[in-house]
A and B are shown apart, each in its own frame.
Chain A
Amino acid sequence: MTENKTGKQLLTRLIPFVIFIGVSVFLYIGLFKDASVLESTFIGRPVPEFALNDLVDPSLAHDKSVLKGKPMLLNVWATWCPTCYAEHKYLNQLAAEGVYIAGMNYKDDRVKALNWLAELDNPYKISLFDPDGMLGLDLGVYGAPETFFIDSQGIIQYKHVGDINTRNWNGKLKAVYEQLK
């Protein structure tokens, strides 16, 4: 075997290694993006069309016009979600401070959701009921709780995954909310 040929074979066998290193670099960069800022393809777009009933009054139907007109938070929650329970108290506090919060009860049961709100207080100015997760699917909801920040034009500006608490509200989310106009 000539030296030239051996060198060529070595280069061929190095290909898998080089590809792997390339992939690793991207994985490394991917690791350090803020994981709670999930890219939603809906950021910067208006809320999708929907038709959902009201949680409290089943005969009342809502469409996307209710998520328009003022800056607001759209909070996705469910009674089966322990983090939502932890978050609820803080949402009550925010509502008391005058933050407009719309709620979307997600893949849940109406009776239980109403009991929950009766027991823990209702921070939601308006409550949508999405038992099948249809709007959730359109919004790209991964789980509960998630909160969408919607401006007065009805355009989604930001999405937060996980609970809202004193720390992340004062750290970042408050500023995001105040920028919504």
Chain B
Amino acid sequence: MIPEIGHFSLIVATGLSFLLAIYPLIGAKINHAGMMNSAKPLAIVQFMFMMISFSILAYSFATDDFSIAYVASNSNSLLPIQYKISAVWGGHEGSLLLWALTLGGWTAAVAVFSRGIPVDALARVLAVMGMIAIGFNLFILLTSNPFDRTLPFLPLDGNDLNPLLQDVGLIFHPPMLYMGYVGFSVAFAFAIAALMTGRLDSTWARWSRPWTLVAWVFLTGGIVLGSWWAYYELGWGGWWFWDPVENSSFMPWLAGTALIHSLAVSEKRGVFKSWTVLLSISAFSLSLLGTFLVRSGVLVSVHAFASDPSRGLFILAFLVTVVGGSLLLYAFKGASIKSRGKYGLFSRESMLLVNNVLLIAALLVVLIGTLLPLVHKELGLGSISIGVPFFNNIFFYMVIPFAIALGVAPLMRWKNQDIKPLVSQLTIAAIASIAIGILMPAIFADKIKWVAVTGFTLGVWVIVTSCMEVYMRATHRHTLLKGLTKLGRSHWAMVLGHIGLAMVLIGISATQNYKIEKDLRMVPGDEVVFADYLFKLDGIADADGANYEGYEAVFTISKNGKFETEMRAEKRNYFVQRSMMTEAAIDWGVTRDLYIALGEQLEDNSWAVRIYYEPFIRFIWWGGLVMSIGGLFAVSDRRYRFVNKKIAAK
């Protein structure tokens, strides 16, 4: 009975999204205040019904209701409670419900927190979000209902789960990604609403900006979390695999990054508006494309769920309607977007344009790299596989101009910059960066690799120029210390975002070029040396826990004859879940991670052991984290609060 309530709530929510898509829109057309005002309560009530529906599905998981097919195939009675809950979005149906719930949440948030926005604009924005909700809710109801019953053949218990998927990282990773994906629907709705009326001014950019930033923060966090999870759980010592599913989260991120920059220009300078609108459409379209790629099974990847053409067809039809429709709207209504303001060749505007062009170029590379294998096959040219070397090579060459421009841009003034006074500063920065870039490998490696040196130089360049910029702005009118306190939050947001990227660059350059990986066969007492570290296998002992029996290998790590640390790698055999888990030992540090995974016991008392040395790998995730914090700084800028109050007071 209870699951039927969940199903029914979903139907009610779908009905409400129809109302939300149509009613306020007509109201805005005929200028009927009551109809326009209905958008807010509709959005909020729709979200409440989605919440009921989702909670009931979660409740069914928690209470092991295996009469629901989706629960039976994604959970079992022995699963710990937190994994039962995260199993709600572990499969196709539930993850779509989470998607729709997230969309409902964003819609309600826009309804509640957009006090400063005129009622007709808000009515249009919420109506557009209602249209997206129709598509998703119908998709769930018609092709992927999570509340389908297994009656009358009720299974006694559910399926066992792959132990890999029982992990904290997996609890938070999908919801965060979805918050990001779906969050771009707000920027999308603002762009479409503006295109409908042809009113695109800088207030529009100001409304859209904080929402876009929040979505971007979630997406960045989600991607970082996913990468970190892959590193410590999969036991391959890698952090990014250019897998189609990873790519489909990276593409909206690239578009979103371009968007937050171009929104800033549109808000401050009133230029690039047409471009900003197109980016708003693109960021969300790529989120939808990502959903299509993952859910339809068109591309095969490690993450893909079982494919089903009817589902894929539905998403494709939806994709064509939403994306095709909005791109057509853009083509025909875009003429009404007029950009005021001129800017010179050397100006912050032109540098941001360079940034956008390069981000979009990177986006196209990922898009082509992801879709080309598919296109190639359809054209009858046979199967090709575009792999890691393709992406790594192209990204190496693209990041060079990108990072150089990124360092220069903040030093430039809006409108026009006299380039002469900057030349000497930039020369100093460049020399310093190159020197540090060459010195860095000398600290932790014995060989100079030029690819790594390039990466280090670029990272240092971004940091040095960011510091110069902060110093310049802070000392412009005040002393340094006083000036630092006077800088706005969105200024710090930019600095953090850029320094975060520099950290990522340094981390990637170090770990890609100086990582050492060894598969060894060791007996207790064996020693092995690499990267200045001596690994000694002291012994392997039984280490049984409450619900598993296992082995624990103890290693002593020393460097230059001095004891450094002790690492314990485990292999566990869980009785109940009948699963084998490798608990890798990770000794983390600022400049390097040591990573030991215990393999199989071989004959004659020896063990297979895999050891990694990963220099600066933490910088990748820390950098991502710093970028996200930068995004939060931008959202919390007082400008947005001030604007809200001022307009609300009118």
A27 close to B385 (CB less than 8 A): no
Inter-chain pairs besides A27-B316, A32-B309, 20 sampled, C-beta below 8 Å: A9-B335, A10-B335, A14-B331, A17-B330, A17-B331, A20-B327, A26-B371, A26-B375, A26-B378, A27-B319, A28-B316, A30-B299, A31-B296, A31-B316, A33-B377, A39-B383, A41-B385, A79-B578, A80-B578, A132-B608
Residues of A within 8 A of B (CB): 6, 9-10, 13-14, 16-17, 20-21, 23-24, 26-33, 35, 38-39, 41, 58-59, 79-82, 108-112, 131-132, 142-143, 162
Q: Total contacts A to B, CB within 8 angstroms? A: 103
Given contacts A9-B335, A17-B331, A24-B324, whether A30 and B298 have CB atoms under 8 Å apart is yes
Report B298-355 residues with CB < 8 Å from chain A CB: 298-302, 306-307, 309, 312-313, 316, 319-320, 323-324, 327-328, 330-332, 334-335
Candidates B281, B309, B335, B599; contact of A6 at CB < 8 Å: B335
26 pairs from A and B in contact (CB 8 Å cutoff): A10-B331, A10-B335, A13-B330, A16-B281, A17-B324, A20-B285, A20-B323, A21-B320, A24-B319, A27-B292, A27-B319, A27-B374, A31-B296, A31-B298, A31-B309, A31-B313, A35-B307, A80-B160, A80-B163, A109-B579, A109-B580, A132-B599, A132-B608, A142-B300, A142-B302, A143-B302
Q: Mark B550-589, 1 if CB is under 8 A from A, else 0.
A: 0000000000000000000000010001111000000000
Q: Within the complex, which residue of A16, A35, A58, A82 is in contact with B278, where a contact is CB–CB below 8 Å?
A: A16
The answer to whether the Cβ of B159 comes within 8 Å of any Cβ in the partner chain is yes
- B160 near A82 with CB under 8 A, answer yes
- Bound-state CA distance A81–B579 (Å) is 10
Residues on B close to A: CB < 8 A? 159-160, 162-163, 274, 278, 281-282, 285, 292, 296-302, 306-307, 309, 312-313, 316, 319-320, 323-324, 327-328, 330-332, 334-335, 371, 374-375, 377-378, 383, 385, 573, 577-580, 599-600, 602-603, 608
> In the complex, which residues of chain B have a beta carbon less than 8 angstroms from the beta carbon of A10?
331-332, 335
Interface of B is mostly: helix
Using known A-B contacts A31-B313, A110-B600, A112-B573, determine if residue A20 contacts B324 with beta carbons closer than 8 Å: yes
- Closest chain-B Cβ to A142's Cβ sits at a distance in Å of 6
- CA distance in complex: A35, B313 (Å): 14
**B371/A23 in contact, CB under 8 A:** yes
Q: What B residues does A131 contact at CB under 8 A?
A: 599-600
On whether A82 and B159 interact (CB within 8 A), knowing A41-B383, A131-B600, the answer reads yes
Q: Is the CB of A30 within 8 A of B162?
A: no
B603 / chain A contacts, CB cutoff of 8 Å: 58-59
B284 to chain A minimum Cβ distance, whole angstroms, is: 13
Decide: A30 and B378 in contact? CB cutoff 8 A.
yes
* Chain B residue at minimum C-beta to C-beta distance from A78: B162
- A56 → B minimal CB distance (Å): 14
| CB of B337 to closest CB in A, whole Å | 10
In the complex where A13-B330, A28-B316, A82-B159 touch, is A111 in contact with B335 (Cβ < 8 A)? no
Residue of B nearest to A36 (CB): B307
**A116: nearest chain-B partner, CB-CB:** B578
CB-CB under 8 A from A6, the residues of chain B are 335
Q: Give Cα A24–Cα B321 distance, bound, in whole angstroms.
A: 11
B residues in contact with A82, CB < 8 Å: 159-160
Cross-chain contact of B377 among A21, A39, A132, A142 (Cβ < 8 A): A39
The CA of A24 and the CA of B323, in the complex, are separated in Å by 10
- Bound-state Cα–Cα, A21 to B321, Å: 11
* Residues from chain A with Cβ under 8 Å of B319 in the complex: 24, 27
Question: Which of B159, B298, B301, B309 has the largest number of chain A CB atoms within 10 A?
Answer: B298
Which A residues touch B320, using CB under 8 A? 21, 24
Nearest-CB residue, chain A, relative to B301:
A142
Measured between beta carbons, the chain A residues less than 8 angstroms from B374 are 26-27, 30
Is the CB–CB distance between B327 and A38 below 8 Å?
no
